[in-house]
Chain A
């Protein structure tokens, strides 16, 4: 995507390696577009800093500030010398007029975020821990278009990651995984899970969803 050159003079900002761009819970009125460099999105969860995402050239972040001021939900840190374009909500209309491609990009970002958030909500709404764990695996499988869901698949995910998706305690997830492994449904390795028949999980979760609303 090509952005108007003039924009760097007006909206360009630079950050050094490891410099904070914005901090979790700081009020946010601006959103950013990465010109060069990379940005790490982190969040302090249970007193540990977790990396949520790493963004690079062409990516947009802080976009939730577009429509109204609200506290940042995560911290953004420059991972190297990074050049950004920074836009205040008030310039937004003008910006889109000048760069309609950016508007399209934002629509795509929002579409994806909405789906991801809904998908996670679907997991959380299941009431049985075992189904929640299964549904996290289903979600991860769905997200990777390269996987063949008809055959055995390998998901690069740890028990902790499943726990955070499912809103469950690590130990409870571990228990469910062990159980599934004993039943011969999955194999567990430290940082990956091999699922023999994800289709079976899909059917179980789908039928549970149906009955929930019946």
Chain B
């Protein structure tokens, strides 16, 4: 976009009293005061007070608004006959490439300004309580720990020990790392006498067009059908790692296209003659893999319309069938049914590890329905879900694609 023509730096003379630019003007020019006097007048944001500032000879002015491409924040007026040098950003760039010290000086000034503004922002927000980075760093570790992002948690705890080996939570941080390394993270571990942020709340579909209800607060009836075994499988700390690797498997799956076709929670190692729902599911899955989506959908729908089975393998198959049914509908172009299926699944199995992939698919459905805003909001949801895996990356790519349209 930048002009490649060599316009060069030009001198310009002003008569006393002239205005070089007004506050609010848009212009890309940058100036150096050569001889004479230039007064910059701006208004302080918080008090409305007028601030006047002299430019010294040889100094730049108009730099920030030019480079940042925003309107002038001050008025530049000439006092006495004055000569300035005027240049565009590419001239400026060429000029400073030869004067790194000038850049360094400017960066110092800018950085101080930025810090002052941040301070004002904090004070306006009433957030002046002194932050203790030591405690906050530990809390970040706890946040990730409780959310099951153990490698992120480990990083924060490790840094805590590195920087604050003698501080209050050093022992707690050490214990956390040990627990993570030994793979013995259990819900009980997540509760020792430390400043514990409340458990991360799960983001909720706030959709208007489709009938998603708040999956966040599963009412008594929502929970009734769920065996205890399942709750601990999905929610228990021990199982968080497997869940994240499943998400990876999702993508490495069949290799073709989006590669997102596999909604299974686990590999079924049950020998022949295993539980019936799991068998049905395996057969439906077979149809899916051979591309017979309509038939697979019918089989999956049969499974999901039945009651929730008792055995653990059957229950897994039952849950996976919901996700796969959605996928079959997507493949068969039955998008409305796919949406209903996914929303039903999220409601029926609050907190299911399949939720993230479901959101991703919902995003792709809105994408193909040419509703980019909606699609982005779902991809965004995926993006913000932990643990981070390839699905987050894919969601990001989608968002970028959609935004660049």
Contact = CB atoms under 8 A, between A and B. Distances in A.
Interface of A: 17-20, 23-27, 38, 40, 44, 47-51, 54, 64, 66-67, 71, 75, 77, 79-80, 92-93, 96-97, 100-101, 103-104, 106-108, 110-115, 117-118, 120-122, 124-125, 156, 158, 167, 189-192, 212-213
Contact of B111 (A47, A103, A110): A110
B332 to A, nearest CB: 27
Interface stretch (B136-144, B235-243, B298-306, B341-349): B136-144
B268 interface: no
B201 interface: yes
Given A23-B156, A47-B197, A115-B68, A107 B100 contact: no
Contacts of A124: 121, 124-125
B96 A104 contact: yes
A190 B143 contact: no
Contacts of A115: 64-65, 68, 70, 73
Contacts of A26: 133, 137, 156, 159, 163
Nearest to B66: A111
A189 B111 contact: no
Contacts of B143: 44, 47, 49
A113 B111 CA distance: 10
A75 B149 CA distance: 14
A189 B383 CA distance: 21
18 contacts: A23-B137, A25-B136, A47-B200, A50-B384, A66-B111, A77-B388, A79-B393, A96-B103, A100-B98, A100-B103, A107-B67, A110-B64, A111-B64, A111-B68, A112-B68, A114-B113, A121-B45, A213-B43
Interface residues of B, number: 74
Interface string B146-164: 0100011001100100010
Contacts of A47: 143, 197-198, 200-201
B63 A107 contact: yes
Given A103-B103, A167-B124, A189 B47 contact: no
B358 interface: no
Interface of B: 43, 45-49, 63-70, 73, 93, 96-98, 100, 103-104, 106-108, 110-114, 117-118, 120-121, 124-125, 131, 133, 136-137, 139-140, 143, 147, 151-152, 155-156, 159, 163, 197-198, 200-201, 203, 206-208, 373-374, 376-377, 380, 383-384, 386-390, 392-393, 396, 400
Contacts of A97: 100
Closest 6 A-B residue pairs measured CB to CB? A213-B48, A111-B68, A110-B110, A71-B133, A103-B103, A100-B97
Interface of B is mostly: helix
Contacts of B208: 189-190
A214 to B, nearest CB: 8
Contacts of B125: 124, 167
